[in-house]
Amino acid sequence: MNNRTLAWAAGILLLAVALGAFGAHGIELRVDAQAYHNWTTAAQYQFFHGLALLALAALDARLASRTISLVRILFVLGVICFCGSLYLLSTREILGTQGLTRVLGPITPLGGLLFMAGWTVLLIGAVRKS
């Protein structure tokens, strides 16, 4: 098992649970419905990709180490960009960071592209290995 990938998976999943709980109990009543929806979307995608990293760690012997490293990097950057920007955009009214919307807005789809790139690399790596 790839311990580095496992550590990233555990950290991302720990934060997903904490941020999901904070969303449900800490901000739900303090933000509008769209912001709360964005927060839950961020927590879900973070959780999904944390689980994907967990599976990736378990597949260590079945894939090239270069593939695992690249997918891990893409997924972690995807979580930071996609989920992180959604968390910040969701709380911009609370934090008073409305001015960052123009900066954070484009980062969200970049994170989505990083997720898709990670899945593409995994697909190619799996096909090449078979």
Single-letter residue type at 58: A
Predicted confidence (pLDDT) per residue in 66-119, tens digit: 999 999 999 999 999 999 999 999 999 888 888 888 888 899 999 999 999 999
- Contact of 9 with 61, CB cutoff 8 Å: no
What pLDDT does 98 receive? Answer: 82
Predicted confidence (pLDDT) per residue in 4-42, tens digit: 999 999 999 999 999 999 998 989 889 999 999 999 999
What pLDDT does 38 receive? Answer: 95
> Which residues in the chain belong to E strands, given as ranges?
none
Domain residue spans of the chain: 3-129
Cβ neighbour number for residue 109 with a 10 Å cutoff:
12
What are the CA-CA distances from residue 125 to residues 38, 40, 67 (Å)? 32, 31, 6
CA distance 84 to 78: 9
- Contact of 71 with 2, CB cutoff 8 Å: no
Question: Which DSSP state fits 30?
Answer: T
What pLDDT does 118 receive? Answer: 98
**CA 89: distance to chain centroid?**
15
